[in-house]
C-alpha cells in the first residue's frame, strides 16, 4: 500500500473494517476505563466526576491524604512487580514499528494508571486509553499479518482515538496521531485516523458524555488578544519547554526495579500531605486549571498552586509512576498565563484574566508537547471555543513553537528530545529498563 495513494478497493474495504473494529473497541475500553475511574473516585471521595465538577469538594484533608497514600501503597509494589516479573511492556511507538504489545501486562499497566489518577495522582489519564487502543491495534495487526505501513497507521490511529475518546476530543485525538505519532500526512492515514477517532469518541460517549472537559468559556474578541498571544507565546512557551525537559529528566531517572515499591508510595504520600491544605494539587490538573479559568483566585494563591502542582507532577514521574502529561501541562500553562495576566492587566485592562489563562495553556502545551497544531485544537475542544478564538490561539501556539526553536538553537540542543511517553520500556535487568508512559 502506498503511503500517498489510496489502496485498491478490496484492500480499502478491509482497511475500513479494521478501522471500524478498532475504533469501537477503543471506545468501549475508554468507556470502561472512565467507569473504573468513577468507581475509584467514589471509594476515595464519596463522589465522582460524573456527578460533580470538582471531585474534592466537600472532602476532608485526612480523606484526601489517606486516599492517595493508599493508592501509592498498592500501586508502588504492583508497578515494581510488573516491571520485574511481567512481559516487557512495549511503547506505542514500538507497536507502530512492528513490536507486539502484550495484552495482560499492558492491561495491568493501564488499570494502575487510571486508578492512581482517580485517587489523586498528579498525572494525566489520557495515557491509559492511548496504550490500550494501541495494544489492541498491535494485536490485531499481528494476528492478521498486516503490512508494516498499515500496522503503523492503525496503531497510531488507535492511540489517538483513545486520547480523543477519554476526553471527548475527537479532532485533537486525530491530530495527536498525525502530528506527534506519525509525523506525516497521507490520504490513507488522514482518513483512517479521523474515522477511528470519531468512532471511538462516539462509542465512549455513552459514559464519557459529550460536554467539554472544562465549562465552556469563550475567548474574548479584540486585537488586544493578539498582543497577549505574542507575549504569552514567548513566556509560557519557554516555561513549557522547561517543563518538557524537567519531566523528561524525571522519567529518565525514575526507579526501574523494586525501588519503585517504596518510591511511588513516598511520592504519593508527599502529594497527599500537600493536599491537606491545597486540595487543588490533586488529580490530572483539571481542578487547578478550573480555578484560574472560572474562579479568579488571588495572585499569591495562583503562584503557590503553580509551584506546588509542578513539583507534584515531577516527583510523581520521578518516583516511577506512569501517566500522561496533557492535562497537567494544560493546567500549568493556564496557571502561568493567569499569573502573567495579573501582572500585565493594569497595562492591558480590556483583556479578561481567563483569556490569559487560555492563551497560556495553548502556548505551554505547544512547547511541552512539541505540537503547536495539537495544542491549538486541544485547547479549543477542552474549553468549547468558537472559531473566533482560533487566530489568537494559533498565534500563541506558533509563537511558543518559535520560542522553543530559538532556545534550542541558542543552547545548541538536538531537534528532538525525549518525552515521558515515548521511552520504550524493558525488563529491569537491562540497562534501559523501566516502565514509562508511551
Integer angstrom CA distances of residue 380 from 149, 182, 219: 31, 22, 10
Q: What is the pLDDT of residue 86?
A: 83
Which H or E run includes 374?
Answer: helix 372-383
* 395: three-class secondary structure by DSSP: helix
Low-confidence ranges of the chain (pLDDT < 50): 1-4, 417-418, 420-438
Paired with 434 in beta bridges are 426
State the cell numbers at 62: 485526612
Q: What is the pLDDT of residue 7?
A: 58
Residue 232 sits at φ, ψ, to 5 deg, of -70, -30
Q: At which residue does the C-alpha cell 489519564 appear?
A: 125
Question: How far is Cα 342 from Cα 353, in angstroms, rounded to an integer?
Answer: 7
122-131 residue pLDDT tens: 999 999 999 9
Q: What is the pLDDT of residue 65?
A: 95
Q: What is the pLDDT of residue 437?
A: 36
Q: What is the pLDDT of residue 49?
A: 81
Amino acid at each position: 500500500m502506498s503511503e500517498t495513494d489510496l489502496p485498491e478497493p478490496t484492500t480499502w474495504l478491509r482497511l475500513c473494517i479494521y478501522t471500524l473494529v478498532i475504533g469501537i473497541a477503543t471506545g468501549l475500553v475508554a468507556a470502561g476505563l472512565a467507569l473504573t475511574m468513577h468507581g475509584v473516585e467514589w471509594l476515595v471521595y464519596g463522589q465522582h466526576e460524573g456527578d460533580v465538577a470538582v471531585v474534592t469538594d466537600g472532602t476532608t484533608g485526612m480523606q484526601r491524604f489517606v486516599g492517595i497514600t493508599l493508592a501509592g501503597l498498592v500501586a508502588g509494589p504492583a508497578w515494581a512487580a510488573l516491571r520485574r516479573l511481567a512481559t516487557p511492556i512495549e511503547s506505542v511507538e514500538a507497536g507502530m514499528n512492528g513490536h507486539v504489545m502484550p495484552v495482560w501486562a499492558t492491561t495491568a499497566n493501564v488499570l494502575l494508571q487510571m486508578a492512581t489518577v482517580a485517587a489523586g495522582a498528579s498525572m494525566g489519564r489520557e495515557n491509559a486509553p492511548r496504550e490500550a487502543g494501541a495494544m489492541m491495534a498491535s494485536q490485531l495487526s499481528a494476528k492478521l499479518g498486516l503490512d508494516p505501513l498499515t500496522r503503523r497507521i492503525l496503531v497510531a490511529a488507535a492511540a489517538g482515538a483513545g486520547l480523543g475518546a477519554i476526553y471527548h476530543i475527537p479532532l485533537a485525538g486525530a491530530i495527536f496521531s498525525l502530528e506527534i505519532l506519525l509525523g506525516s500526512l497521507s490520504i490513507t492515514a488522514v482518513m483512517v485516523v479521523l474515522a477511528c477517532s470519531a468512532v471511538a469518541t462516539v462509542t465512549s460517549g455513552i459514559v464519557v458524555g459529550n460536554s467539554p472537559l472544562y465549562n465552556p468559556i469563550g475567548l474574548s474578541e479584540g486585537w488586544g488578544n493578539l498582543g497577549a498571544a505574542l507575549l504569552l507565546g514567548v513566556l509560557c512557551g519557554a516555561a513549557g519547554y522547561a517543563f518538557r525537559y524537567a519531566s523528561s529528566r524525571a522519567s529518565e531517572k525514575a526507579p526501574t526495579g523494586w525501588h519503585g515499591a517504596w518510591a511511588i508510595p513516598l511520592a504519593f504520600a508527599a502529594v497527599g500531605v500537600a493536599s491537606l491544605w491545597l486540595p487543588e494539587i490533586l488529580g490530572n490538573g483539571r481542578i487547578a486549571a478550573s480555578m484560574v479559568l472560572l474562579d479568579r483566585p488571588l495572585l499569591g494563591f495562583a503562584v503557590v498552586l503553580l509551584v506546588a502542582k509542578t513539583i507534584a507532577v515531577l516527583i510523581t514521574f520521578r518516583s516511577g509512576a506512569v501517566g500522561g502529561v496533557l492535562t497537567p501541562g494544560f493546567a500549568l500553562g493556564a496557571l502561568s498565563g493567569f499569573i502573567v495576566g495579573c501582572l500585565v492587566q493594569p497595562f492591558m485592562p480590556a483583556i479578561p484574566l481567563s483569556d490569559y489563562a487560555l492563551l497560556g495553556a495553548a502556548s505551554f502545551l505547544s512547547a511541552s508537547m512539541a505540537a503547536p497544531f495539537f495544542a491549538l485544537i486541544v485547547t479549543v475542544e477542552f474549553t468549547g471555543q468558537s472559531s473566533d478564538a482560533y487566530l489568537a490561539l494559533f498565534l500563541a501556539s506558533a509563537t511558543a513553537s518559535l520560542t522553543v526553536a530559538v532556545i534550542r538553537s541558542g543552547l545548541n540542543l538536538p531537534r528532538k528530545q525525549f518525552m515521558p511517553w515515548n521511552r520504550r520500556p524493558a525488563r529491569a535487568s537491562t540497562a534501559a529498563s523501566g516502565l514509562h508512559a508511551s
